[in-house]
């Protein structure tokens, strides 16, 4: 009896077939870790996203304070843009990550130049610079300090504005000025490379040398984006999230106003996006890619 039941079940049960295995698709983008050296022999690590069929346009991603080439939305953006034929390089600046800061803001000119030179060496004729947060100040200074004809366009995402004014907004003018005055005293006493503890409000506390602090927000700092954007003549996209709590809500408009002589500057706000576009990475990629395609024709 038991054998009969087993026999019936064997007849009724459907035959098990293995699903066909689709052949593995060849990746549309190659991803390569790289190391570059600046003109003053500083090693910078980064990642290069290369399309199988690259066009003539390249994109360089420049992080902000405490950032890295693999942080924020850089990986998703690099992949998405490269899939559309745009070679993308995300590169550490020499003051990357959150350790003690001892360099000078203007040193980032050499850092960006190393990345631009590498993209150019790959045969790219037009390069777009994208700066995230303080990276916006970096890419603006790079262009203001030495206009580079290969830079075809600029993208500024979540720019913080003037860095001394950002501290005033966070702490009030008196406390913001105290840290600058302390750095000036240390520099005058010959301690420009000693470490001082700096309060960054929502970003925590960090160790800066007086040299580093003064290069960002001292009386002779060259990091002011409002002055520097006035010297940029290529198309500029300014992107700001409506839910960004780390910067003042009108920074994008201030940058736009400072670039009044450039008719090719536009501002785009993204509803709900925070400082790092953490929940809006696909929207950011769509906005950036669409704008590059229109602003930098191949």
pLDDT (tens digit, 9 = 90+) per residue, 270-282? 999 999 999 999 9
Average pLDDT of the segment spanning 157-177: 98
HSE-CB for 10 with a 13 A CA cutoff? 6
DSSP strand pairing (43-51 vs 87-91) = antiparallel
DSSP for 51-75? ESS--SEEEEEE--TT--TTSTTHH
First to last CA, the chain: 78
Confidence of residue 10 (pLDDT cuts 50, 70, 90): very low
Residue-range domain boundaries for the chain? 29-162+223-295, 180-221
Average pLDDT of the segment spanning 32-37: 98
Q: Identify the bridge partners of residue 33 per DSSP, sorted by sequence position.
A: 47
- Residues 76/285, Cβ–Cβ less than 8 Å: yes
Smallest Cα–Cα separation from 112: which of 145, 84, 157? 145
pTM for this model (two decimals): 0.90
Smallest Cα–Cα separation from 157: which of 293, 47, 287, 295? 287
Smallest Cα–Cα separation from 244: which of 268, 287, 277, 266? 277
CATH number of 29-162+223-295: 3.40.50.1820
- pLDDT > 70 in the chain, percent: 91
* DSSP secondary structure code for residue 270 in this structure: E
**What is the pLDDT, as a whole number, of residue 26?**
55
pLDDT (tens digit, 9 = 90+) per residue, 82-118? 999 999 999 999 999 999 999 999 999 999 999 999 9
pLDDT (tens digit, 9 = 90+) per residue, 246-276? 999 999 999 999 999 999 999 999 999 999 9
């Amino acid at each position: 009896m038991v054998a009969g039941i087993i026999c019936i079940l064997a007849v009724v049960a459907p035959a098990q077939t293995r699903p066909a295995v689709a052949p593995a698709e060849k990746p549309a983008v190659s991803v390569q870790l790289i190391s570059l050296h600046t003109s003053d022999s500083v090693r910078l690590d980064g990642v290069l996203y290369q399309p199988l069929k690259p066009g003539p346009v390249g994109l360089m991603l420049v992080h902000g304070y405490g950032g890295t080439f693999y942080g924020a939305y850089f990986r998703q953006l690099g992949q998405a843009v490269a899939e559309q034929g745009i070679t993308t390089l995300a590169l550490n600046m020499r003051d990357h990550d959150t350790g003690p800061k001892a360099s000078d803001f203007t040193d980032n000119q050499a850092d960006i130049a190393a990345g631009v030179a590498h993209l150019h060496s790959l045969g790219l004729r037009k390069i777009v610079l994208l700066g995230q947060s303080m990276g916006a100040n970096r890419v603006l200074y790079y262009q203001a300090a030495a206009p580079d004809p290969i830079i075809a366009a600029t993208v500024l995402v979540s720019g913080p504005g003037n860095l001394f004014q950002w501290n005033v907004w966070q702490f009030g003018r008196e406390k913001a000025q105290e840290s600058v005055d302390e750095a000036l005293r240390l520099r005058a006493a010959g301690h420009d490379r000693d470490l001082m503890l700096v309060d960054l409000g929502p970003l925590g506390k960090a160790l800066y040398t007086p040299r580093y602090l003064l290069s960002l927000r001292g009386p002779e700092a060259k990091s002011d984006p409002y002055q520097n954007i006035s010297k940029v003549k290529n198309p500029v996209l300014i992107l700001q999230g409506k839910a960004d709590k780390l910067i003042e809500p009108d920074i994008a408009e201030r940058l736009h106003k400072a670039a009044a002589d450039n008719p090719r500057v536009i501002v785009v706000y993204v509803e709900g996006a925070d400082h790092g576009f953490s929940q809006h990475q696909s929207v950011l990629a769509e906005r950036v890619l669409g704008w590059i395609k229109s602003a930098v024709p191949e």
